[in-house]
Structure 1
Amino acid sequence: MSNFEQIEKKIEAGEPIDFEDARFILSSYDLIRIGKIARSIKLKKTSKKVYFVFNKHINYTNLCISKCKFCAFYRLGDEEDAYTMEIDEIIDEIAKMPDGIKEVHIVGGLHPSKPFSYYLNMVSAIKRNFPSVNVKAFTAVEIDYFSKLSGLDYEGVLKELKKAGLDSMPGGGAEVFSERVRKKLYPNKIPYEKWAEVHAIAHRLNIPTNATLLFGHIETDDEIIDHLFKLRKLQQEHPGFLCFIPLSFHPANTPLEGKIQKVDAVKELKVLALSRIILDNFPHIKAYWVMLSPKIGQIGLHFGADDIDGTIGQERVTHAAGAKSPLGLARDNMVEMIKNAGFIPVERDALYNEIEVYD
């Protein structure tokens, strides 16, 4: 029996694959077979439906004390393009969106001087002005920073934010769960244990979250695989993850530019497929078109993904690193992209409740 046949047999029996299976998948050149396995899992979970959301991204500041070596977005404060949005500016940005927006996705740098009250007031102002919009805000890294600012523990911070109107959390700040990589590229960022603790507490407080992986820099295949198995275990022990999003690294304008090449489409599709195969306890896998490009995102729907994110509005973080994808896409573009890939577009809200099926 071949390696692929053994993997397929495990999946048909509802058994998880192991580390060696995952190594084989990432080392194999049979891209079509890998995609077929991941697609079969996706079809069992969500049939031919592919989800998108009418959303808006807000990157409220690019000032950041973390100074991660893979980041093209952060500024220290005296640069011409350094910025911080005041709360009324954030409200104005959201108000520019057409009626029907379902989610505001809010992340930013670790601002050197804004107090915790700024973030609480931001959330409460959005909720007050747009009560039907899901406020998906702040990575685990930001929550850890708010803990330092406020003197509250993680649970205290999350309870205050929830009281202010926080509905859900994104999955950023995970990067790759490797101490080796963390020490080299983002030593000032929290390690896996703290990231996991924040998400576990959020789930206990009924705040659903997402999870991510940043790959295509200095990580090894084994570190990618370890990251995925850590997430699978965390979901088993503290369920509450809605979606996993693999993010391919964009080196342009970062300290790593010229030292590494951007990861190719084959690796992007393999990691996407492997994510669907390993994370059998995650409801959804996202082919994030901003990072992948709309075209690779579309192909990713045949590699296990059942979500392509949303209209975005204007995303700044990835584009600071040279992403060539559009800053945003219209609802019609999302529907067309999904239909042309052979799937059924479903507009969803932030929690994957179906709003409209375009069949």
Structure 2
Amino acid sequence: MPRVILTVDAILRRALAGEDLSVDEGVALLHQTDADAIAAIRSVADELRHRQAGDTVTYVINRNINFTNICEQHCSFCAFRRDADEAGAFWLSTAKILEKAAEAVRFGATEICMQGGLNPEARVNGSSLSYYLQLVRAIKDEFPQLHLHAFSPQEVQFIARLDNLSWEQVIGALRDAGVGSMPGTAAEVLDDRVRRIICPEKIDAATWKEIVSTAHRLGMPTTSTMLCGHIETPQEQIEHLAQLRQMQETALSQGYGGCITEFILLPFVGEQAPAPLRRRVGRDQPDLDACLLLTAVARIFLGNCIPNHQPSWVKLGLEGATTALTWGCNDIGGTLMEEHITTMAGARGGTCLTPDRLIAAISSLERPHQQRDTLYRYVASC
């Protein structure tokens, strides 16, 4: 017997009643083109944001440190990676990383977000893990107050493969050295059809989920992301959200020490991406309307278990990210201080925003603002 899909009004009533939507219902919302239906979806997402996260818009003072762009992989959307002997390749010394961390502390940062390319030469005494632990300990020894949000599931798999270790061993060692949380990047879209085209050398969807779930079991919080607006379908977008929701429900029901702290939508920027994917996508900058609709549907689909939603001002620009705060987002992200991966792909949002600019954007919506830390705890004003 065919499944009956509810009308948009009925789906939204279910969401307002606190019920989780099915994949089919989420897809039905994403297929809407009628202006009134889209306005209703936005309104419900904004109401659920109010109920689930409140009216205060949060932000974090942080710094990105991309310590190398030398990478063994060749993702079709990436304009960041380089071979070691290629023009533009870089690999920061520990001293340079500490210099950047010191500047972040002077700026008032509470977080360092650190990720990099998969550089097979990054080893200490033949060990990949030892290299990463050396970076972590150097920062934590000098700046113990900083929260290290570092090393994606792809990097964990890379370290484990090179050193013949389990994911538990890698994550546990990083945690014990001072890593406080894991970025939920490298998720792209959790569908192997998509991954075979845009990132065929990356871990598959099942491996990404298993590494993140392992982090949760070991008490390490993670974030979650989706790279959207390229070759994926609305069905694949919602199935990605459904997998995140299931992982979070498992982490919460099992009482793991870690769980997903936030969801971040990352729209595709292709201006400097490799030509084959650019041609296939047919667009160099994000489609703001499509991104806002997906932002709203993500809030409706995930908000019961992942209450914190953040846009990417680097990809959407500050104006677009501010608009997303009225489509279900409750957090405007971080100051970043520098950003290479998206900027090298051709993003026009910039690489650094001061707290004053983030606060001004929030205030333009007549919503209160509040500095937070990585784990969404409020930070007292100086």
Same fold (TM over 0.5): yes
Q: CA RMSD in A?
A: 1.5
Select the residue among 225, 245, 253 that pairs with 2:264.
245
> Secondary structure in 1 aligned to 2:49?
helix
Tell whether the 8 Å contact from 1:344 to 1:357 is kept in structure 2 after alignment.
no
Moved more, 11-20 or 55-64: 11-20
The residue number in structure 1 matching 2:309 is 285
The residue number in structure 2 matching 1:57 is 64
Tell whether the 8 Å contact from 2:269 to 2:346 is kept in structure 1 after alignment.
yes
> Secondary structure in 1 aligned to 2:294?
helix
The letter of the residue matching 1:257 is: R
- Partners of 1:190 and 1:335 in 2: CA distance: 38
The letter of the residue matching 2:179 is: L
Once superposed, which parts of structure 1, at least 4 consecutive aligned residues long, lie more than 6 Å away?
A: none
Select the residue among 141, 149, 152 that pairs with 1:139.
152
- Partners of 1:204 and 1:52 in 2: CA distance: 27
Which TM-score applies when normalising by structure 2? Answer: 0.91
- Partners of 1:342 and 1:24 in 2: CA distance: 32
- Partners of 2:42 and 2:166 in 1: CA distance: 43
Count of residue pairs brought into register by the alignment: 358
> Secondary structure in 1 aligned to 2:112?
strand
> Secondary structure in 2 aligned to 1:328?
coil
- Partners of 1:306 and 1:105 in 2: CA distance: 20
- Partners of 1:14 and 1:96 in 2: CA distance: 44
- Partners of 2:278 and 2:116 in 1: CA distance: 22
* 1:261-280 paired onto structure 2 within 5 Å: 261=283, 262-279=285-302, 280=304
The letter of the residue matching 1:248 is: P
Tell whether the 8 Å contact from 2:6 to 2:25 is kept in structure 1 after alignment.
no
The residue number in structure 1 matching 2:255 is none
TM-fit CA distance, 1:99: 4.7
- Partners of 1:283 and 1:127 in 2: CA distance: 30
The residue number in structure 1 matching 2:52 is 45
The letter of the residue matching 1:252 is: E
- Partners of 2:159 and 2:42 in 1: CA distance: 41
Alignment pair present for 1:157 and 2:157: no
TM-fit CA distance, 1:341: 1.9
- Partners of 2:380 and 2:7 in 1: CA distance: 41
The residue number in structure 2 matching 1:234 is 247
Tell whether the 8 Å contact from 2:269 to 2:347 is kept in structure 1 after alignment.
yes
* Structure 2 stretches lacking a partner, 5+ long: 253-258
The residue number in structure 1 matching 2:108 is 100
- Partners of 1:292 and 1:205 in 2: CA distance: 34
Going from structure 1 to structure 2, the CA distance change for 1:217 and 1:171 (only over 3 Å counts) comes to same
Select the residue among 100, 106, 117 that pairs with 1:109.
117
What do residues 7-61 of structure 1 show as CA deviations (whole Å, max 9, x unaligned)?
2221232111112221221111333221111111100012211110000001111
Alignment pair present for 1:224 and 2:232: no
TM-fit CA distance, 1:257: 2.7
TM-fit CA distance, 1:146: 0.7
* 1:1-359 paired onto structure 2 within 5 Å: 3-29=7-33, 30=35, 31-97=38-104, 98-115=106-123, 116=128, 117-239=130-252, 240-255=259-274, 256-259=277-280, 260-261=282-283, 262-279=285-302, 280-356=304-380
> Secondary structure in 2 aligned to 1:57?
strand
> Secondary structure in 2 aligned to 1:354?
coil
> Secondary structure in 2 aligned to 1:83?
coil
What do residues 68-115 of structure 1 show as CA deviations (whole Å, max 9, x unaligned)?
011010001112210011111101011122252110001111012112
The letter of the residue matching 1:339 is: S
Sequence identity, in percent? Answer: 34
Which TM-score applies when normalising by structure 1? Answer: 0.96
- Partners of 1:296 and 1:125 in 2: CA distance: 37
